[in-house]
Structure 1
Amino acid sequence: MDRNLSYRYPSTRKVVFGTKGMVATSQPLAAQAGLDILKQGGNAVDAAVAAAAVLTVTEPMSNGVGGDAFALVWAGGRLHGLNSSGRSPALLNAEAVRSCGFSEVPRFGWLPVTVPGIPAAWAELSKTFGRLPLTRTLEPAIICAEDGWPVGPVTAAAWKRFEEEFLGGLTGPEYEPLRDTFFPSGRAPLAGELFRLPELAETLKELAVTNCESFYRGGLAEKIDRFSRATGGLLRKSDLERHSSDWVRPLHVRYRGYEISELPPNGHGIVALMALNILKGFPMESRDSPLSIHRMIESLKLAYEDGREYVGDPATMKVSAEALLSESYAEERRSLIGDRAVLPKAGQPEKGGTVYLCTADADGNMVSYIQSSYCSFGSGLVVPGTGISLQNRGMNFSMNPESGNFIGPGRRSYHTIIPAFLSKDGAPVGPFGVMGGFMQPQGHLQVVTNTVDFGLNAQQSLDAPRWRWVGGKRIEVEPEFPAHLVRELQDRGHEISISTVTDDFGRGQIIWKNAEGVLTGGSESRADGQVAAW
């Protein structure tokens, strides 16, 4: 990472430097809001909350107040982890799903709705590490929602895809608030078009003055409960009242002299760590080496199968995170990787649609933060009069009673959103993340190898052409992926196809800090994002 090597695929953006503070997000107004908060005396945590709140306004199909959040915070000389994912309603179980005519949890409607954790995350982060009250940090988002903002091109395209693919099929009265709030003209907004969310502005004001208590125990909770009861939902105010955000100890693995940290399950950051744990036993020749990329793919496939089999709510997991990350298990899984692609299977370690942002300040605090409604516009349910779009995270529950992710009341589901952090010799290097559903561990693996193994800077690491495992031996690559690598990977048995859907390959942000304290930022060119530096 200390090298500044030339790279044959030039970045469309230049790397950004700063010293007093930095905010990297997928949307420029959010990045600028975070930087303004830093200049007003806030720290990296205040900046993260401000940027996150603006993103609920400016990228509403990707995240909203009704979603979940996770964070890694470097403060006081160590890394802290926050899990603010919500649990399933007390009335939700497998029989409730089957009684509605489904064999799996559906994408839309009330069945996939779990308790939202984003408001609690903002309050907990602000209380524990912030300097400014939520009445200050949520102000930029309130102004943005009231006055309106020009919709970005990537955001507009995603909004339009949802309209074309799903909106016409959401015909029940429970989906009318979605249309009224986000499609008031009967269509998705165009790029550059001014869009307002006045009801969400009022919700954000209420969250600010009540320190988010209204969402779980006050007027907003009552509105959610009332909407659920009126339209056949299972979520109740009592479910909201029981929510808690948990401070947890991050997991990490050592990879070629660095420590890569992720949050423990129920998130699947452990998949990225398992893959890196396997991969570190192989030499990495170059980024253009077909053997190196083959080994990355095969390591990821093995880790993913273990994640699907074992990861869920820690209270119901049948295998421990420690066992999945043990050196002996990594060696066992590594031994399965040869010169050709194979169909992955889960091992036996114990035998017997998201936004990401990162921030840093002059005092050394750094935040890796992610929040999501999961699929675009989540469950499709918007609480009337509030602008609150409810997530569909319960869609990830398994209906298999033998699974560690089996559906049930009061449980956290397998979670795709994962913030990450890089450190070395006990000192922070910085936060990074790649949003995008099940692409996220794959994006983390590629960012780490681009940075640590191949010496790319923050922007190059994000812009490098990506591959994506989609199941079996099937791999999708971006159009810019080198043709000779496609041919040689095919010769190794990989089934390669070229995808032109940019969203499939994730959208990331990075902030690195060097020994002199200089901050280096990169923002995904696949998004509308920006690095704002001071």
Structure 2
Amino acid sequence: MPRLLAMLDLDALFRPDSRTSGWRRMPAVAGEAMIATSHPLATAAGLEAFAAGGNAVDAALAAAVVLAVAEPTDNGVGGDAFALVWRDGELHGLNGSGRSPGTLDEVRVDETGPRSVTVPGAVRAWADLAERFGRLGLDRPLGRGAELAARGVACTARIWNKWATDPAAPFPAPRVGERFVIPDLAATLARLAAEGPDALYRGSVAEAIAAVSWLEEQDLADHRSEWVEPLRLDYRGVEVCELPPNGQGGAALVGLAVYDGLEPGLHSQIEAMKLALADVYAHVGDAPWPEALLDPAHVAARRALVDPSRAIDPTPSVLPRGGTTYLCAVDGEGTAISLIQSIFGNFGSGVVPSGTGVVLQSRAGGFVEDEGHPNRLGPARRPFHTIIPGMLLRGGELLGPFGVMGGAMQPQGHMQVALRLVDEGDDPQAALDAPRWRVGLGREVALEPGLWDAEDELASLGHDVRRANVQHPFGVGQAILRLGGALIGGSDGRGDGYAAGL
């Protein structure tokens, strides 16, 4: 008897499996434009925007709004967004993160609930990107998003798994393949399409947000995005670009800088990243990037701590979780965008203002309470942020956007994908499909099944090796490279989406 979908062992989708063909998944190739996302509806929306005459930013915004509906576990109108945009030979950075309340009653960090909410910055960031770089405006994708939320989205296995295993999910979990609708979110998106982004930050929606969180209406009215100067590191002839604080993108650059000069291999990669995470989590907050972290003398001193014969213990006492969506796009004129958005934990704070369908993010859970720490909770401050978009340049020209979502995995994923692209010469799909490691606390390192053959060697060096039993903690990535006259793209098999172009 055939094994029909209704009889499928869904848990098997999230267990290691050696029954693959052993052959490569081919990268996407296009001559004009390309978009890569974690959900098929989002990629399709991006292609539709291209076909309507939009550029890479328009395609990315179309996809971003769809993802806010199709992946409600990870991102949405109630979250934040960051972006890197390459346009006319210049790189632009956008920090779309929100702040804590302007007035605090006490310094207490909650991971979920009303006191974990910060001002949602994604909608304002979308509007700023559309205004500065787009052609089609934001009302079009917002209107399409409203239609999708009202019509319903067939739930993928990945989203079902994250949704069904969250006991605090604010909406009932759909089954795999079942259409879920969020009518209140549809109404909010339709209102934003008609009235513009101010409809989130002022009026009845802002009032509803303030009514269920520690934010005040003025906190929302005061919110603005910030255009910032990206951080850059030359790694073996390729310029790796990240956003400055309050994000953790600098950790990817510090990790690459420390690794460059070490004996190549997994042990050196893991140790370099542990040192980078320790540096960034100790010194980064809502303040300018501490330039000393990439100073050659500091990098050399950190590199000298790496012992080729044993593992060290420099990681922080806590590593952040995360629920995030990443996408990228490149058009025929050479404009490229790397965009990431998130509500932090699974379903963020778990708080949904009445009548809005908007799940508010839990980014205030990223603050610390420690006196004197640069990331200490304070009035109108932005928390240490996990979400980071990446961009690669070579010889002053665009190579392409890339990113890997997933809490503390993000700088680790950026480093590993960059190493695969630069050191190994992988195409984007191969780089994303490659097995990953994930640094934990102390000497802990988790290995995906493709790296299990390195377990004994790493354990002999003192690493606390764990065999991963689910793929979610290793993130989902996307990447597009411009090589000659063509675009070569990839979409992480750990997600649901694909890369496609015109």
TM-score scaled by length of structure 2: 0.92
1:405 is aligned to 375
The alpha-carbon deviation at position 219 of structure 1 amounts to 3.1
1:483-494, aligned counterparts within 5 Å? 483=453, 485-494=454-463
SS in 2 for 1:214: helix
Counterpart position of 1:312 = 285
Deviation string 1:349-391 (CA, Å, 9 cap, x unpaired) is: xxxx100000111111100000000001100001111111000
Residue equivalent to 1:126: 130
- 2:239 alignment counterpart: 259
Q: State the secondary structure of the residue aligned to 2:408.
A: helix
Instruction: Structure 2: give runs of 5+ residues left out of the alignment.
Output: 1-19, 317-322
Q: Which residue of 2 aligns with 1:208?
A: 193
Residue identity in the other structure for 1:329: H
Whole-angstrom CA distance in 1 between matches of 2:25 and 2:383: 37
Whole-angstrom distance in 2 between the partners of 1:73 and 1:50: 16
Alpha-carbon spacing, 1:454–1:116, altered in 2? closer, same or farther (3 Å): same
Deviations 1:225-252 (A, max 9, x none): 2x23xxxx31111000111100000001
Assess, with a 3 A threshold, how the Cα gap between structure 1 residues 345 and 389 changes in structure 2: closer, same or farther.
Answer: closer
Aligned pairs (5 A) from 1:216-227: 216-225=201-210, 227=211
Q: Deviation of residue 12 (structure 1)? A: 6.2
2:248 equivalent among 237, 262, 268: 268
5 Å-filtered alignment, 1:132-147, equals 132-147=136-151
Larger displacement relative to structure 2 (325-334 or 474-483): 474-483
- The CA distance in 1 between the partners of 2:95 and 2:424, in whole Å, is 32
Residue 532 of structure 1 and its aligned partner are, at CA, apart by: 2.2
State the SS of the aligned residue for 1:389.
coil
How far does the alpha carbon of each residue in 1:150-201 deviate from its partner, in whole angstroms, 9 at most, with x for none?
11111111111113xx45xxxxxxxxxx2xxx21xxxx11111111112111
What percentage of residue pairs aligned between the two structures are identical? Answer: 46
Structure 1 CA distance, aligned partners of 2:484 and 2:216? Answer: 50
> What CA deviation, in whole Å up to 9, does each residue of 1:413-466 have, x standing for no partner?
000000000110100110000000110000001001111111111111111111
- The 8 Å contact of residues 57 and 145 in structure 1, kept in 2 or not, is answered as yes
The aligned residue for residue 298 of structure 1 is: 271
SS at match of 2:42: helix
2: CA distance between counterparts of 1:307 and 1:126? 31
Contact 2:283–2:290 (CA under 8 A) maintained in structure 1: no
- SS of equivalent residue, structure 2 residue 159: helix
Per the alignment, do residues 154 and 139 of structure 1 end up closer, same or farther by CA in structure 2, a change over 3 Å counting? Answer: same
1:124-143 alpha-carbon deviations (Å, 9 max, x no partner): 00000000121222233122
Aligned to 1:389: 359
For residues 166 and 26 of structure 2, what CA distance do their matches in structure 1 show?
31
Instruction: Indicate the residue corresponding to 1:35 in structure 2.
Output: 47
Q: Cα offset for 1:331? A: 0.8
Report 1:355-504 matches (<5 A). Answer: 355-483=325-453, 485-504=454-473
**8 Å contact from structure 1 (residues 451, 457) kept in 2:** yes
State the distance in 2 between where 1:458 and 1:11 align. Answer: 16
- What's 1:324 paired with? 293
Q: In 1, Cα distance between the equivalents of 2:194 and 2:219?
A: 22
Is this contact kept in 1: 2:107–2:378, CA < 8 A? no
What corresponds to 1:3 in structure 2? none
Tell me: CA distance 1:223–1:302, structure 2 relative to 1, closer, same or farther (3 Å).
same
Q: Which residue of 1 aligns with 2:69?
A: 57
3-state SS, counterpart of residue 282 of structure 1:
coil
Q: Where does 1:161-180 land on structure 2 (aligned, <5 Å)?
A: 161-163=165-167, 166-167=168-169, 178=170
CA distance, structure 1, for counterparts of residue 274 and residue 315 of structure 2: 9
The answer (yes or no) to whether the contact 2:61–2:141 under 8 Å persists in 1 is: yes
* Amino acid across the alignment from 1:469: V
Number of aligned residue pairs: 476
2:491 — aligned with what?
523
Alpha-carbon contact 1:72-1:368 (below 8 Å) kept: yes
| TM-score under structure 1 length normalisation | 0.87
| Aligned residue in 1 for 2:501 | 533
Q: Is 1:264–1:321's contact at 8 Å kept on the other side of the alignment?
A: no
Candidates 185, 190, 207, aligned match of 2:175: 190
What residue in structure 2 maps to residue 102 of structure 1? none
Aligned to 2:29: 17
The answer as to whether partners of 1:11 and 1:463 remain within 8 angstroms in 2 is no
- Aligned equivalents of 2:23 and 2:372: distance in 1? 46
Q: Provide the rounded CA distance (Å) in 1 between the counterparts of 2:477 and 2:22.
A: 17
Q: Distance in 2 between matches of 1:52 and 1:135?
A: 13
Alpha-carbon deviation of 1:107? 2.0
Corresponding residue number in structure 2 for 1:154: 158
For 1:1-51, what per-residue CA distance to the aligned partner results, in whole angstroms no more than 9, with x for missing partners?
xxxxxxx99576321001221111110000100110111011111111110
Aligned amino acid, residue 174 of structure 2: P
Distance 2:293 2:435 in 1: 29
- Equivalents in 1 of 2:183, 2:57: separation in Å? 26
Cα deviation, residue 488, structure 1:
0.8
- 1:76 offset after TM fit, Å? 1.8
SS in 2 for 1:471: coil
